[in-house]
Amino acid sequence: MTETARREAIMPNTLPAAPAVNNTYSYGVRAGDTLYIAGMVSFAADGSIVGEGDIAAQVDQALHNMAEVVTAAGGTMDDVVATTTYLVDVTAAPVVSAARARWFTGPVKPTHTVVGVAALGRPQFLVEIEAVAHLG
């Protein structure tokens, strides 16, 4: 089996195709039982940005988009084992923690790293969350 045959792009039709196509990436890549999830932002299915200026709305949309990728790969949010959250304003970390409590409800919570950044891919984005999931 070739290396490419063991990898699968996960591109849910509930997420806008253009950002991934235009920037040459997959929303998720499944390699065996491991799912690598690209940084999720607050895109709506139509490509518009949800929650401009509203960190809580953006975090919820980013986690919703993450759930779409995990589901498309055959898993659930309980399968997420690690996350990295990039915040334009790290004082918003408690908002992220509150959203994580709603989205990650399984008995084992994923690891969480928060990184403060000067900017994200578009000036409207306040948060981006990438993850790794183990699908067993």
CATH for 68: 3.30.1330.40
pLDDT in tens, 47-90: 999 999 999 999 999 999 999 999 999 999 999 999 999 999 99
Per the listing, tokens 């040459």 go with: 24
Closest CA to 120 of 75, 83, 94, 89: 89
Name the residue range of residue 120's domain.
4-134
Amino acid symbol at 113: T
Per-residue pLDDT band at 136 (split at 50, 70, 90): confident
Helix, strand, coil shares of the chain, percent, nearest 5, are 30, 30, 40
Tell me phi and psi for residue 125, to 5 degrees. -75, 130
User: In what side-by-side order are the strands of the sheet with 127-134?
Assistant: 7-10, 28-31, 34-40, 127-134, 80-87, 111-116
Q: What is the dihedral of CA 48, 50, 52, 57, to 10 degrees?
A: -170
pLDDT in tens, 123-135: 999 999 999 999 9
Q: Model pTM greater than 0.85?
A: yes
Please check whether residue 65 is in contact with residue 44, taking contact to mean a CB–CB distance below 8 angstroms: no
3-class SS of residue 14: coil
Domain total in the chain: 1
